[in-house]
A = this chain, B = another copy of it.
Amino acid sequence: MTEFSAPKAIDKSNLFRKGDPDFMTSLARGIEVIRAFSDTKTGVNMSAISERTGLSRAVARRCLYTLSEMGYVRRDLDGYYLEPKILSLSQTYFSSTSLPALAQEHLDHVKESTGESCSLAILDEHETVYIARSAARRIMAVSLGIGSRLPAYCTSLGRVLLAALPPAELDNYFGTIKRKAFTERTRTTQRDLKAIIDKTREQGFTIVDQELEIGLRSLAVPVRNHNGVVVAAMNVGVQASRVSLSDLKRQTLPVLLSASEKLRSQLIC
């Protein structure tokens, strides 16, 4: 406990850490309860929360009770709902980092001039996390919002971000993650991926063609700050049926690169 170690993936064992007097189990459990609301369009009842989190019903109940007393959760006829007050937690993130706010206008510009969704993401715990987004009108098969996470190895944003990692960390990445094929096109071997990442680093962009989902192509470029350090990645996602690979490279890439460059000049600090 001398140093706060790198964040670990949360599994159940982490929630019941006996023997670490500094780890507040109740806090961890309560937060897991919040997360248990993911992907639930309807109300969630106590038992469901208890199941999803692996917490005993009594604990789940107390967590829900506490969260509801604090105004983060509301109880309705058909179960518990998250209250918008939960947004105040992420608001603290946005109010303490300016990157998403600065990027927004450039994302909007890319979206307007290409007609396609444009997103900004960073790497967090070996996953790609969207931190800003300008979504095109058309309904995409994948609907991703701010805070959404995807595996890095099979997304354009992820590969750009991985390409910016120091070699040691990249090795560590491949040592810890497990890869699976989302489609028949997904590259999963370490050799292939490392080659792709090397190429990405060289050419300054990457295209992923239906490796995450059939019908989805994605182009990404790095976003650097004033000192040239990669601080994020920006991408455009298109439907494969409408935009060819060469169109992506010839028409979309220049727009994306220009946006990234404009943003760069704003990232002084």
Contacts and interface: CB of A to CB of B under 8 A. Distances in A.
A168 interface: no
Contact of A88 (B35, B71, B74): B35
Instruction: Please tell me the size bucket of the interface on A.
Output: 35 or more
Interface stretch (A60-68, A184-192, A197-205): A60-68
A182 interface: no
Contact of A14 (B35, B69, B89, B96): B69
Given A4-B65, A70-B14, A149 B88 contact: yes
A229 to B, nearest CB: 15
Query: Which among A24, A84, A85, A98 has the greatest number of chain B C-beta atoms within 10 A?
Result: A84
A94 B81 CA distance: 12
Nearest to A130: B87
A145 interface: yes
Interface stretch (A38-46, A157-165, A210-218, A250-258): A38-46
Contact of A71 (B7, B22, B34, B101): B7
Interface in A164-185: none
Interface in A32-57: 34-35, 37-41
A39 B180 CA distance: 40
A10 interface: yes
Query: Which among A1, A75, A124 has the greatest number of chain B C-beta atoms within 10 A?
Result: A124
A8 B90 contact: no
A131 B30 contact: no
Interface string A17-34: 000001111111111001
Contacts of A148: 91
A95 interface: yes
B30 A69 contact: no
B89 A4 contact: no
A65 B22 contact: yes
A87 B70 CA distance: 19
A124 B71 contact: yes
Contacts of A74: 7
A255 to B, nearest CB: 17
A129 interface: yes
B63 A101 contact: no
Given A1-B65, A84-B129, 7 more contacts: A4-B68, A10-B70, A81-B96, A84-B93, A84-B131, A89-B89, A94-B147
Interface of A: 1, 4-5, 7-8, 10, 14, 22-31, 34-35, 37-41, 61-63, 65-72, 74-75, 81-98, 101, 104-105, 108, 112, 122, 124-125, 129, 131, 134-135, 137, 143, 145-149
